[in-house]
Amino acid sequence: MRYCRVVGPMWATVKHPAFNGRPLFIVQPLDDKGVDVGTTFVAIDTVQAGVGDKVLVLSEGTGTRQILKQGDIVPIRSTIIGVVDHVESA
Partner 1 sequence: MYLGIVKGTVVAERKSTGLEGTKLLMVQPVDEHGTPVGDLQAAVDRVQAGLGDLVYLVGSREAALACDPWFVPVDAAIVGIVDGIDVPDPARREER
Give residues in contact with partner 1 (CB under 8 A): 7-16, 18-19, 24, 26, 39-43, 51-52, 61, 73-78
Q: Which residues are CB-neighbours of 31 under 8 A, at least 6 positions away?
A: 3, 37
Q: Is 33 exposed, middle or buried (0-12, 13-18, 19+ CB in 10 A)?
A: exposed
Coil, strand or helix at 40 = coil
Between 40 and 82, name the residue whose CB sits nearer to partner 1.
40
Nearer to partner 1, 15 or 47 (CB): 15
Measured from the CB of residue 52, what is the shortest distance to partner 1 in angstroms?
A: 7
